[in-house]
């Protein structure tokens, strides 16, 4: 017996090994399948990418995932960290970021730079989702950052972070924006909003792939940026706001902080000093800027068109030059916006003289001038930009003079217009802007003569006569901002309201999770 057993034992060994192997694979198989959730997440984007092609298979993001970034490329670790922080919030994981020189292993996210004919422009990117990896590739860090927003939308923060793993369909996404300038304007003059509020707005903009924030820094009701050579602008001119409240202003350090915060999200700040009208706050702060040498009272109402810098005085241009010099020094972006709207108390020839003179100052300081569409009456520098808000004749005149336009038509793109007659906040001089109306237009179809090649992009302004805090800002901004993001990004033939409203409705859980008090339009099938 003993001998026999001894003899058979070695014979059994291969079977045992085989058995152990099989067991190992079965266990592995089970543990792997258990990790894969049965429900593959819906892909739902705003703005809609240029192309999304799904294929067989799924990518699983589990608790051990990491974000790998290509080694030795400037700025990539920061972009990776931005993504990881957002994903950790939405998934409940603790994803870390690592530089790598090779393609990472299964289950990870990989951000890499590279030239590829399929990737268009600085903001273009490509996402490749396979069973193994989620790879994001772009030519520039800016493109990676836009693509990161798409990845965030693949794993949205719906306020439920309890899953063990998140599966998404295998797919290839190819994307690039339709327009190079995609912006929002925030009026911080009529009501002042502090640094933290503006950062929150910047975060909202980043998520929908905007790349400019225009700050309306001065108006009749308040001067909001510190100018060291003219300190009374903020000391007196920044001391109040519409309704008589406290007002406020940004020190140059705070402004620089905002510029840097925006830059880390690949957003450019466009500062506006509105001139020669909309200047009561400055006129009240310095009597010498008035033709009669007398300073008016501060203004806390909401009328427009009653103030003007004194066009004939030399001091006016010394003032403007000082303001622009200081502003240019703290503004790395290419644009300075000089306003120029509704100068109803400036004579037309004076207005033209003023705009041309200030335009020269802006360009001589190395910046590109933007002005509201009225500036088209002046001779325009070939690089000047007109912001079309009210009159298409002005926009066409600017185009005739060789300028490009940013389109912000009041009746479609004004975030301060009421949604309908029952909306409490907002104004209605340009009409009501329901969510479908705000979405269903194209910059190059507004009027004949403003064609795609004349258009730099789109901007949605939020004037703040009626809004006093972040909650009120968000009510007017959401959900219309998402529509403007899509108009600026997604090619017109790929956009239609019927499809958009369904995608928008699916954003409800994430808007709610972000604490955004949006307007719950009855036209949108909001997901519970
Ligand atoms: C017009 S739009 C203005 C602003 C007001 C806004 C209110 C523009 C260039 N000027 O001064 O705040 O209407 O909607």
Is 331 within a domain? yes
* Ligand 1 atom nearest to CA at 219: 11
Q: How far is CA 164 from CA 126, 372, 490, in A?
A: 27, 52, 34
Atom 13, ligand 1: residue with shortest CA distance = 463
CA of 390 to the centre of ligand 1 (A): 9
Of 138, 160, 175, the last residue of a domain is: 175
56 lies in the same domain as 158: yes
- Ligand 1 atom showing the smallest separation from residue 461 Cα: 2
Please tell me the distance between residue 314's alpha carbon and the centre of ligand 1 in angstroms. 29
Q: Residues 317, 169: one domain?
A: no
Tens of pLDDT, residue by residue over 185-221, are 999 999 999 999 999 999 999 999 999 999 999 999 9
Closest C-alpha among 447, 444, 446, 445 to residue 455: 444
Rounded distance between C-alpha atoms, residue 67 and residue 369, angstroms: 40
Whether omega for the bond prior to residue 276 falls within 30 degrees of 0, making it cis, is: yes
Locate the ligand 1 atom nearest the alpha carbon of residue 416 and give its number: 14
170 and 189 in a common domain? no
3-class DSSP string for 34-80: HHCCCCCECCCCCCCCCEEEEEEEEEEEECCCEEEEECCCCCHHHHH
DSSP letter assigned to residue 103? P
Ligand 1: residue whose CA is nearest its atom 2: 389
How far apart CA 376 and CA 386 sit, in angstroms, is: 7
Which residue CA neighbors atom 11 of ligand 1 most closely?
Answer: 304
Tell me: do 226 and 106 sit in the same domain: no
Q: Reply yes or no: is the peptide bond before residue 201 cis, omega within 30 of 0.
A: no
Tell me which residues are annotated as active site: 342
Task: Name the residue range of residue 235's domain.
Answer: 181-497
Distance 290 CA to ligand 1 centre (A): 23
Render pLDDT for 286-337 as a digit per residue (tens, 0 to 9).
999 999 999 999 999 999 999 999 999 999 999 999 999 999 999 999 999 9
Residue 33: how many CB atoms within 10 A of its CB? 9
438/413 Cα distance (integer angstroms): 6
Same domain, residue pair 170 and 214: no
170 and 224 in a common domain = no
351: in domain: yes
Handedness of CA 454, 201, 503, 60 (dihedral sign): positive
State how far the Cα of 500 lies from the Cα of 480, in Å rounded to an integer: 12
Which of 341, 406, 459, when mutated, tests ligand 1's pocket best, judged by the most ligand atoms within 8 Å of its CB? 341
Collapsing DSSP to helix, strand or coil, 137 comes out as strand
In this structure, are 196 and 164 located in the same domain?
A: no
Same domain? For 370 and 450 the reply is: yes
Q: Domain holding 85: CATH number?
A: 3.30.379.10
Spatial contact of 511 and 53, defined as CB atoms under 8 Å apart: no
Residue 264 CA to ligand 1 centre (angstroms)? 30
Structure tokens belonging to residue 278: 């909309």
Q: Specify if 31 maps to a domain.
A: no
Atom of ligand 1 nearest to the CA of 410: 2
Domain for residue 3, yes or no?
no
Does residue 148 belong to any structural domain of this protein?
A: yes
DSSP helix/strand/coil, 463 = coil
Q: What is the best residue among 463, 464, 467, 476 to mutate for testing ligand 1's pocket, by most ligand atoms within 8 Å of CB?
A: 463
Atom of ligand 1 nearest to the CA of 417: 14
Closest CA to 516 of 462, 485, 480, 465: 480
pLDDT in tens, the chain (528 residues): 344 444 444 455 666 666 666 655 555 554 444 455 567 888 999 999 999 999 999 999 999 999 999 999 999 999 999 999 999 999 999 999 999 999 999 999 999 999 999 999 999 999 999 999 999 999 999 999 999 999 999 999 998 877 789 999 999 999 999 999 999 999 999 999 999 999 999 999 999 999 999 999 999 999 999 999 999 999 999 999 999 999 999 999 999 999 999 999 999 999 999 999 999 999 999 999 999 999 999 999 999 999 999 999 999 999 999 999 999 999 999 999 999 999 999 999 999 999 999 999 999 999 999 999 999 999 999 999 999 999 999 999 999 999 999 999 999 999 999 999 999 999 999 999 999 999 999 999 999 999 999 999 999 999 999 999 999 999 999 999 999 999 999 999 999 999 999 999 999 999 999 999 999 999 999 998
Decide if 455 contacts 405 (C-beta within 8 A).
yes
List Cβ neighbours of 42 (8 Å cut-off, separation of 6 or more): 506
Q: How far does the centroid of ligand 1 lie from the alpha carbon of residue 463, in Å?
A: 7
**CA 77, chain centre distance (Å):** 21
Rounded to the nearest 5 percent, the helix, strand and coil shares of the chain are: 40, 20, 40
Strand partners, 250: 225
Same domain, 329 and 246: yes
* Ligand 1: lining residues by beta carbon, under 6 Å: 304, 341-342, 372, 389, 414, 416, 427, 463, 465
Cα 520 versus chain centre, distance: 22
What does the DSSP assignment read for 235-298? HTTTS--GGG-----B-HHHHHHHHHHHHTTT-EEEEEEEESSS-HHHHHH-GGGSTTS-PPPP
Same domain, 464 and 366: yes
Distance CA 288, CA 267 (A): 37
Same domain as 224, residue 288: yes
The DSSP-derived string for 299-310 is --S---S-----
The pair phi, psi for residue 173, each rounded to 5°, is -115, 125
Using an 8 Å Cβ cutoff, are 478 and 519 in contact?
yes
Count of residues making up the chain: 528
Instruction: Specify the residue with its C-alpha closest to ligand 1, atom 5.
Output: 463
Whether the CB-CB separation of 233 and 257 falls below 8 Å is answered with no
Ligand 1: residue of 304, 423, 431, 433 to mutate (most ligand atoms within 8 A of CB) is 304
Ligand 1 center–CA 410 separation, angstroms: 9
Does 27 map to a domain?
no
pTM more than 0.85: yes
What is d(CA 345, CA 342) in angstroms, rounded to the nearest whole number?
8
Instruction: Count each helix (H run) and each strand (E run) in the chain, helices first.
Output: 16, 17
Cα distance between residue 256 and residue 293, in whole Å? 34
Q: Which of 233, 309, 319 is nearest to 276 (CA)?
A: 309
Q: How far, in Å, from the CA of 141 to the mean position of ligand 1? A: 36
One domain for residues 384 and 304: yes
Of all protein residues, the one whose alpha carbon is nearest to atom 4 of ligand 1 is: 463
Q: Whose CA is nearest to atom 7 of ligand 1?
A: 463
Assess whether the previous peptide bond of 469 is cis (omega < 30° from 0): no
CATH of the domain at 211: 3.20.20.80
517 in a domain, yes or no? no
Residue 18 lies in a domain: no
Total structural domains within the chain: 2
- Nearest atom (ligand 1) to Cα of 427: 14
Quote the pLDDT of residue 41. Answer: 86
């Amino acid at each position: 017996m003993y001998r026999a057993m001894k003899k058979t034992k070695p014979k059994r060994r291969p079977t045992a090994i085989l058995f152990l192997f099989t067991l190992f694979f079965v266990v592995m198989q089970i543990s792997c399948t258990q990790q894969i959730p049965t429900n593959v997440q819906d892909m739902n984007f705003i703005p809609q990418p240029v192309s999304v092609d799904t294929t067989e298979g799924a990518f699983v993001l589990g608790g051990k995932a990491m974000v790998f970034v290509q080694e030795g490329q400037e700025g990539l670790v920061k972009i990776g960290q931005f993504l990881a922080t957002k994903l950790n919030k939405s998934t409940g994981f603790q994803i870390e970021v690592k530089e790598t020189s090779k393609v990472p292993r299964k289950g990870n996210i990989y951000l890499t730079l590279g030239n590829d004919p399929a990737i268009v422009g600085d903001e273009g990117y490509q996402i490749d989702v396979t069973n193994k990896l989620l790879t994001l590739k772009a030519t520039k860090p800016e493109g990676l950052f836009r693509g990161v927003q798409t990845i965030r939308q693949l794993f949205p923060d719906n306020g439920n972070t309890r899953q063990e793993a998140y599966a998404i369909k295998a797919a290839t996404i190819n994307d690039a924006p339709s327009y190079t300038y995609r912006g929002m304007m925030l009026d911080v003059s009529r009501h002042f909003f502090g640094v933290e509020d503006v950062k929150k707005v910047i975060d909202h903009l980043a998520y929908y792939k905007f790349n400019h924030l225009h700050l309306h820094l001065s108006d009749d009701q308040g001067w909001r940026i510190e100018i060291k050579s003219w300190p009374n602008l903020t000391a007196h001119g920044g001391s109040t706001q519409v309704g008589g409240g406290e007002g406020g202003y940004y020190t140059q350090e705070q402004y620089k902080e905002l510029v840097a915060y925006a830059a880390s999200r690949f957003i450019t700040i466009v500062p506006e000093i509105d001139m020669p009208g909309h200047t009561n706050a400055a006129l009240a702060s310095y009597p010498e800027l008035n033709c009669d040498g007398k300073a008016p009272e501060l203004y806390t109402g909401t009328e427009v068109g009653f103030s003007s810098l004194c066009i004939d005085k030399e001091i006016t241009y010394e003032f403007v030059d000082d303001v622009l010099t200081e502003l240019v020094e703290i503004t790395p972006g290419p644009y300075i916006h000089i306003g120029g709207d509704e100068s109803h108390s400036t004579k037309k020839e004076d207005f033209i003289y003023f705009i041309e003179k200030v335009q020269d100052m802006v360009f001589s300081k190395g910046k590109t001038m933007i002005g509201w569409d009225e500036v088209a009456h002046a001779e325009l520098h070939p690089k000047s930009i007109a912001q079309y808000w009210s009159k298409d004749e002005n926009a066409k005149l600017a185009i005739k003079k060789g300028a490009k336009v940013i389109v912000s038509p009041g009746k479609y793109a004004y975030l301060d217009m009421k949604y309908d007659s029952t909306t409490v906040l907002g104004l209605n001089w340009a009409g009501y802007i329901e969510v479908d109306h705000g979405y269903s237009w194209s910059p190059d179809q507004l009027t004949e003569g403003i064609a795609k090649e004349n258009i730099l992009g789109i901007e949605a302004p939020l004037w703040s006569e009626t809004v006093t805090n972040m909650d009120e800002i968000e009510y007017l901004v959401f959900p219309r901002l998402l529509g403007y993001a899509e108009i600026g990004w997604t090619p017109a033939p790929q956009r239609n309201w019927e499809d958009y409203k369904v995608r928008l409705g699916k954003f409800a859980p994430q808007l709610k999770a972000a604490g955004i008090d949006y307007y719950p339009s009855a036209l949108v099938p909001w997901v519970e």
